[in-house]
Amino acid sequence: MKKVRSRHKIAEGLNDLFYIWREEFSNVLKDQGVLIFFFLVPLAYPILYAFIYTNETVREVPVVAVDHSHSTLSRKFLRDADASPDIHVIAYCADLEEAKDIMRKKGAYGTIYIPAHFSDDIAKGIQTQVQIYCDMSGLLYYKAILSTCTDVSLEMNRQIKISRLGNTTDKQDEVSTQPILYENVALFNPQNGFASFLIPAVLILIIQQTLLLGIGLSAGTARENNRFKDLVPLNRRYHGTLRIVLGKSLVYFMIYLLMGTYILCAVPKMFNLVQIAQANVLFTFIIPYLSACIFFAMTASIAIRNRETCMLIFVFTSLPLLFISGISWPGAAVPPFWKYFSWLFPSTFGINGFIRINSMGATLPEILFEYRALWLQTGIYFLTTCWVYRHQILLSQKHGGAQN
């Protein structure tokens, strides 16, 4: 007898689950606002971002030169600097005042100043200095100007040393100027590009934020449409917590499996970003990420009372979440408080894991911490979702009961 009843109960539960699933699906498809968040934003935003950063790095930063040395060596220095890909000497000024004026008018972002004694010093064997002044409105300008001038000076230093040494063979020249050779290997982002660095993080973040917005929007709508402003409608089929939570999350999960494939696989390909992920690893990792995001969003949606408020509350969080994840600002430099705070959000682990899988070719053992954390979050947020929905069901029943 008891067995039959429990089997009956399971069957009823599954029935309700799929009923709720169907309802939620049709709600999503009928609601233009949710469609925008679930489909349009994930389709269009990554393209816009990739388009902004697609040039990867800044080239030909305009600089002005002030050459008081007027010597073969100083002219060579400036010529070599100009010939580099990163800076472009747009003018030769008579003095620093003239150079400053050009910088004030934003004609140039830096000044290279070669003092009058430059060539004399070198001839006398005294160390000499080339001054560079950089506008600090963008660190990439500074980086371009400083690294170019350093490269030029190192190369000229080498040649000066060779001419002083009077060696007899080329090999001797090489060894005496550079007793130890060195090489830099820029792993995982060889062109030092901005897009390859930032876009993967943005892609992962878009998944979480659009889920927050979409689920928040439909929760707000539900509250506006239901009597007594409850989240859960007064309906015979909306009685079991598990049915509601699973039925709804299944809808989001199916949609985001599709969108996630587009965002995480197609977008990097379209913009030729670094993409060395192994398909099975990426898939294994994305499952807990999506689940954690969905339950996180469902829990957070409890705060949404009106249809439109989700945008006011969630949109601005994108930027702090991007910074706290330890991608743009190195994770090692994130203060401990914010580090633990960041563990509340699936995006932190999602971004770190995805960048390692996608850009650094990591496999599951290397991202075990993030992987486990996401499953843990899935579990915790599933429980909180159940809890808040349970509370809401009771509330709606109470309201319903009071009415009867």
Residues in 62-101 at the binding interface with other proteins, rule: CB under 8 A: 77
Beta carbons within 10 angstroms of residue 121's beta carbon: 16
Residues 6+ apart with CB under 8 A from 284: 364, 371
Pick out residues in 137-166 that bind other proteins (CB under 8 A).
137-143, 146, 149-150, 153-154, 156-157, 160-161, 164
Q: Choose, by CB under 8 A, the member of 186, 269, 401, 404 that binds other proteins.
A: 186
Residue whose CB is less far from other proteins, 42 or 240: 42
What is the C-alpha separation between 35 and 259, in angstroms, rounded?
12
How many Cα neighbours within 13 Å face the side chain of 147? 13
Pick out residues in 18-37 that bind other proteins (CB under 8 A).
31-33, 36
Residue whose CB is less far from other proteins, 160 or 250: 160
Piece of 235-243, 247-255, 362-370, 391-399 that binds other proteins (CB under 8 A): 362-370
What is the C-alpha separation between 276 and 128, in angstroms, rounded?
46
Piece of 8-16, 51-59, 247-255, 385-393 that binds other proteins (CB under 8 A): 51-59
402 binds other proteins per the rule CB under 8 A: no
State both tokens at 363.
Answer: 């496999």
Q: Choose, by CB under 8 A, the member of 252, 289, 356, 392 that binds other proteins.
A: 356
Q: Choose, by CB under 8 A, the member of 166, 179, 336, 401 that binds other proteins.
A: 179
What is the C-alpha separation between 213 and 312, in angstroms, rounded?
10
Size of the site for other proteins (CB under 8 A): 108
Tell me the three-class secondary structure of 337-348, residue by residue.
HHHHHHCCCHHH
Contact 97, 66 (CB under 8 A): no
Contacts 24+ apart (CB under 8 A), 184-191: 187/360, 188/274, 188/276, 188/359, 188/360, 188/361, 189/274, 189/359, 191/56, 191/57
Residue whose CB is less far from other proteins, 226 or 241: 226
Q: Choose, by CB under 8 A, the member of 7, 8, 22, 59 that binds other proteins.
A: 59
Residue whose CB is less far from other proteins, 102 or 250: 102
What is the C-alpha separation between 225 and 101, in angstroms, rounded?
63
- Closest approach, Cβ 335 to other proteins, in A, equals 6
Closest alpha carbon to 261 in 284, 280, 278, 286: 286
What is the C-alpha separation between 376 and 379, in angstroms, rounded?
5
Residue whose CB is less far from other proteins, 246 or 281: 281
Pick out residues in 366-385 that bind other proteins (CB under 8 A).
366-367, 369
Residue whose CB is less far from other proteins, 15 or 159: 159
Residue whose CB is less far from other proteins, 17 or 61: 61
Q: Choose, by CB under 8 A, the member of 20, 246, 362, 388 that binds other proteins.
A: 362
Q: Choose, by CB under 8 A, the member of 47, 83, 175, 383 that binds other proteins.
A: 175
212 burial type by CB count under 10 A (0-12 exposed, 13-18 middle, 19+ buried): buried
* Cα dist from 216 to 210, 313, 345, whole Å: 9, 10, 16
Pick out residues in 234-273 that bind other proteins (CB under 8 A).
none
Q: Choose, by CB under 8 A, the member of 47, 52, 257, 383 that binds other proteins.
A: 52
- In the chain, the N- to C-terminal Cα span, in Å, equals 33
Contact 343, 261 (CB under 8 A): no
53 binds other proteins per the rule CB under 8 A: yes
Pick out residues in 193-232 that bind other proteins (CB under 8 A).
194, 196-198, 200, 221
Contact 245, 382 (CB under 8 A): yes
Tell me the three-class secondary structure of 45-65, residue by residue.
HHHHHHHHHCCCCCCCEEEEE
Q: Choose, by CB under 8 A, the member of 4, 48, 279, 402 that binds other proteins.
A: 48
Q: Choose, by CB under 8 A, the member of 65, 89, 134, 204 that binds other proteins.
A: 134
Pick out residues in 279-338 that bind other proteins (CB under 8 A).
307-309, 311-313, 315-316, 318-320, 323-324, 327-335, 337-338
Residue whose CB is less far from other proteins, 198 or 246: 198
